[in-house]
Amino acid sequence: MFTATGDDWADRAAALSLHTRMFIDGSWEDGTAEPLAPISPRDGRALPPIAAASAADIDRAVRSARAAFDAGVWSRIAPRERGQRLIAFAQKIHDNAEELALTISLEMGKPVREALQTELRAVVNCFRWYGEAADKVLDELPVTAPNSLALVTREPAGVVAAVVPWNFPLTMTAWKLAPALAVGNSVVLKPAEHTTFSALRLAELAHEAGLPAGVLNVTPGAGHVAGRALGEHPDVDVVTFTGSPEVGRRFLGYAAASNGKRVWPELGGKTASLVLPDADLERAVRATADGCFYNQGQMCTASSRLLVPRAQYDRALEIAAEVARTSLPADPFDVSTSMGAIVSEKQLAGIAGFVERAVADDAELAAGSTERFSAVDGGSYFAPVVLGVTPAHEVAQREVFGPVLSVIAYDDVDDALAIANGTEYGLAAALWSTDLNAVHTLSRRLRAGVVWVNCFEEGDMTIPFGGVKGSGFGRDKSLHAMEKFTDLKTTWIELS
Ligand code: NAP
Ligand code: MG
């Protein structure tokens, strides 16, 4: 399991039967908005059109979610039972992992091997983890005077809207759905336009695993129509969102203008990988470049800024350029491929624009080019780029969401910290050193939600994931994520 083999993935993709309708109240329905017209970035081929939700369709989905919640078919069953069905859901995903991985690869271009090995493994693990946790979180019994009894309990919030991006489509979805469902909510999921097929298949598997009708609805559609309608809906209690800072802030606005619903934004990043003078430079630079190019650089945590002591700058640029030159894109359906296609032509043009402007602004182009790369005819490919830049360069400040690494020289530790903290973002950071004192003092001063030391992208379900500053304040994963989807209730009882 979770190991992609064989060379027949293109044939298998052609034979996939893809869902193209919305999943509302346990059945497949047509949408009343302009259908989505997805394109596979692997080869530019048109995929089947998908029904898209209008505000009226979203209203129907929210009503269904509310009715299921009020009926108690999920919200008031024993937590143990909810947990068991989530574990059954995880098993269904496990049993269909190859098909789901292939669907993701087809719709957004990541290598099928990565989709299976990394993404599907994480998704199965996430649903299992929250399924197991469902009946292991305790409420509180405060210490009171003898004539009273106080209960502090956590109640499910009600209807949760989940709006997610396309880069790790099912992982992000699992991070939202699993904790929200584990504590008893009903959910309406709006997948990203590029990754709707995989989300619809997930809904079907959830239904097969015993989630009652209305507990999980999937409403495909355009962000500014379907996403916005969820954000503005007066009967949605919580929005959990992963995506760009711009859209995240819109959701805060939708909430303010409607019912004051809770919004949990998990937004972009501009991760600094800070290499201290004592570190193993080669190892740190290689890991940083890999962390920047992974998933075609379409990662909120992408280690897109490499900070090195000025004396080691030339050597660092050389090593990073070598990694870039040996990480070229190839056919996502070839199991030996580690870098696939960029999600869309629009995204590709955006990435190339960042590189063009950097070069025009005197950045040093150490690897890659401003031109697209050719891997599969008709597809959207872009080879990794390494740039030598100053902290003020646009490319060192803004999120590219593509395989573009900025290498920056620093003079001393205070300078390095100022550069690391000197963007609008604060999602993650990495530190490379074996000096215990430096590691602890610097990690405290880094303004980031996650700090990796002598590693990159490590972790498991037990740790919270999310950012500070412009990266938002929501946290996925860990038991803390369950709190986002509950309300505290106090019951005070006078005893006579
Ligand atoms: P995005 O454009 O913000 O879209 C995210 C979701 O919001 C999509 O479902 C999108 O729908 C929807 N949306 C777009 N415009 C909307 C609007 N006006 N109102 C309501 N919903 C709207 O982000 P993306 O391009 O999919 O993903 C890239 C971004 O996600 C990057 O900034 C990245 O850093 C961030 N990200 C963060 C994390 C994290 O955990 N912190 C993880 C992964 C990605 P459509 O698809 O229809 O546009
Ligand atoms: Mg977008």
Pocket, ligand 1, Cβ cutoff 6 A = 163-167, 172, 190, 192-193, 222-224, 227-228, 231, 242-244, 247, 250, 266-269, 300, 399, 401, 427
Across 382-393, average pLDDT:
98
d(CA 387, CA 8): 37
- Mutational test site, ligand 1, from 242, 292, 401, max ligand atoms within 8 Å of CB: 242
Provide the 10 A C-beta neighbour count for residue 44. Answer: 14
Nearest alpha carbon, ligand 1 atom 40: 266
pLDDT above 90 (res 357):
yes
The answer to whether 298 and 343 are in contact (CB under 8 A) is yes
The answer to whether 104 and 170 are in contact (CB under 8 A) is yes
At residue 435, the pLDDT reads: 97
φ and ψ of 109, to 5 deg:
90, 0
Q: Is 458 a catalytic residue?
A: no
Ligand 1 centroid – CA 242 distance (Å):
6
pLDDT above 90 (res 201):
yes
Across 276-285, average pLDDT:
98
pTM: 0.97
d(CA 317, CA 367): 9
Ligand 1 centroid – CA 283 distance (Å):
33
d(CA 95, CA 380): 31
The share of the chain scoring above pLDDT 90, in percent, equals 98
Across 81-104, average pLDDT:
98
Tokens of 174: 């699992």
Across 212-237, average pLDDT:
98
pLDDT above 90 (res 2):
no
H/E stretch holding 254: helix 245-257
Would you give the DSSP letter of residue 140?
A: B
Q: Pick the ligand that lies closest to the CA of residue 231.
A: 1
At residue 200, the pLDDT reads: 98
Q: Is 266 a catalytic residue?
A: yes
d(CA 377, CA 389): 33
Burial of 374 per CB tally in 10 Å (0-12, 13-18, 19+): exposed
State pLDDT tens for residues 50-67. Answer: 999 999 999 999 999 999
pLDDT above 90 (res 124):
yes
State pLDDT tens for residues 437-466. Answer: 999 999 999 999 999 999 999 999 999 999
Q: pLDDT class for 386, splitting at 50, 70, 90?
A: very high
Nearest alpha carbon, ligand 1 atom 35: 243
pLDDT above 90 (res 335):
yes
Q: Pick the ligand that lies closest to the CA of residue 243.
A: 1
Ligand 2 centroid – CA 417 distance (Å):
31
pLDDT above 80 (res 176):
yes
pLDDT above 90 (res 1):
no
**What number of CA atoms fall less than 13 Å from residue 389's CA on the CB side?**
26
